């Protein structure tokens, strides 16, 4: 049997899929997804292990931004293949001992899933044997209020995530949903946005020739407008 055939098949929900449901024990008690998060966006993220330096910086940063995410109607859920008691001990250590980039006395108030049996991690393809067969990689799944997967990010074990980018993605997706627009490369709140391209020749001509406050066209297929 080849190495490829011997490797466990990894499955995961894709963008546009309804996310798997789960009921789990966490550092904040039992939670059920999506029932406990109706009407909210959710960031589910995994980390390789408790008491590790990269994960510690990530958790401190996520915790310090928790209210920023809540202002965006977004809740955080963490996960690793550790016990609830290991999670609690690690989070207490973070609060009582760790100071990093001006952050100290940081209390992690979002739930962290105890996933010793790797049930949730395997549902979301967070365990990837060629990276590690007993630790989750750094995965991020962003779900919308309908529990639909809207964005997926994967990072290797060695490199921490950019939480500002995750926040930017939430803002961009919410804006696209609300205003029926797209966002260009390196978009940040306040930058110009893209008007969806026309679906016919007549609509293209009308799009280019029509007057609309703040709108400008670089070509028939590429019109932008100033952010309102």
DSSP secondary structure, 185-204, as one string = TT--TTS-EEEPPPSSHHHH
Q: Rounded to an integer, what distance in angstroms lies between the CA atom of residue 81 and that of residue 126? A: 10
Question: Any idea which residue has 């992690």 for tokens?
Answer: 108
Kindly state the greatest CA–CA separation across the chain.
Answer: 65
Establish whether 201 is a catalytic residue: no
Among candidate residues 55, 201, 217, 223, the one labeled active-site is: 55
CB-based contact 59:91 (threshold 8 Å):
yes
Return binding residues for substrate.
Answer: 138
CB-based contact 168:140 (threshold 8 Å):
no
Question: Of 92, 132, 131, 124, whose CA–CA distance to 108 is shortest?
Answer: 92
Distances (CA, A) of 194 to 162, 172, 198: 24, 12, 12
DSSP secondary structure, 141-177, as one string = EEE-TTSBEEEEEEE-TTS---HHHHHHHHHHHHHHH
Half-sphere exposure of 66 (CA within 13 A, CB side): 15
Eight-class DSSP state of 34: T
List active site positions.
55
């Amino acid at each position: 049997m080849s190495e490829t055939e011997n490797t466990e098949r990894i499955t995961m929900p894709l963008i546009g899929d309804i996310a798997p449901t789960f009921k789990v024990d966490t550092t904040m008690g039992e939670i059920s997804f999506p029932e406990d998060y109706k009407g909210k966006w959710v960031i589910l993220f995994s980390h390789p292990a408790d008491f590790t330096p990269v994960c510690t910086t990530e958790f401190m940063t996520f915790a310090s931004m928790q209210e920023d995410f809540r202002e965006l109607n977004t809740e955080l859920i963490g996960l690793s293949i550790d016990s609830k008691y290991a999670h609690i001990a690690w989070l207490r250590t973070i609060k009582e001992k760790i100071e990093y980039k001006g952050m100290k006395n940081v209390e992690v108030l979002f739930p962290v899933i105890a996933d010793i049996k790797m049930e949730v991690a395997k549902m979301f393809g967070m365990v990837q044997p060629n990276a590690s067969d007993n630790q989750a990689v750094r995965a991020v799944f962003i779900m919308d209020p309908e529990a639909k997967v809207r964005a997926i990010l994967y990072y290797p074990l060695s490199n921490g995530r950019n939480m500002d980018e995750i926040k930017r993605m939430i803002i961009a997706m919410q804006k696209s949903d609300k205003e029926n627009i797209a966002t260009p490369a390196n978009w940040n709140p306040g930058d110009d946005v893209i008007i969806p391209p026309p679906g016919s020749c007549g609509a293209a001509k009308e799009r280019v020739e029509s007057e609309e406050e703040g709108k400008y066209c670089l070509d028939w297929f590429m019109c932008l407008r100033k952010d309102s």
